Amino acid sequence: MKLRTIPEKGNSLISLFKGKGEMTIKEYEDMMLDIELRTEKKIITMLDMIGTVASVKSDRYSLPYTKQIKRSNQITSYVNEALYTQTLLRDIAKVILDENIQKIRFFVFAEIEGGMFGRVNYYFNYYIH
């Protein structure tokens, strides 16, 4: 698993959460964990609606995943758009339905990269039960 690094100074998404001033690694990790947890709840709800049993391991990053779906959202002038997860949810639903997956274990890893208009990368890491 990748180690987290705080994005370049002046990243507009970091400024949205922090305001002025430097963000510590702990604050960044907490912020990203919150984004990951909210995304995982949305994924579990969506998968439940389509009849797939889904769970997240309590020690999330130790899951021995075998597959990964990556989605990147560009940070634009409307900064919050980078946090939208609809495209990730659509990508996941397509794979689940195409492969007729009934039971899955997963976790989401999110990171922000780049400068002023960087991107948010979402990694949906999973294995099929």
Complete DSSP assignment for 63-103: ----EEEEEEEE--SSGGGGG--HHHHHHHHHHHHHTT--E
> pLDDT band for position 79 (50/70/90)?
low
In this prediction, residue 61 carries a pLDDT of 82
> pLDDT band for position 119 (50/70/90)?
confident
pLDDT for residue 1 is more than 60: no
How far, rounded to the nearest angstrom, does the alpha carbon of residue 60 sit from its chain's CA centroid?
13
* Strand, coil or helix: 47: helix
Q: What is the pLDDT of residues 15-25, one digit of tens each?
A: 666 666 677 77
- Residue 13 is encoded by which pair of tokens? 């998404």
* For range 94-122, the mean pLDDT: 89
Indicate the pairing of strand 103-113 with strand 119-128.
Answer: antiparallel
Contact between 84 and 71 under an 8 Å Cβ cutoff? The reply is: no
* For range 86-96, the mean pLDDT: 93
Give the percent of the chain with pLDDT over 70. 79
* Average pLDDT of the chain, as a whole number: 83
CB count within 10 Å of CB 8 equals 13
- Residue 118 is encoded by which pair of tokens? 């960087």
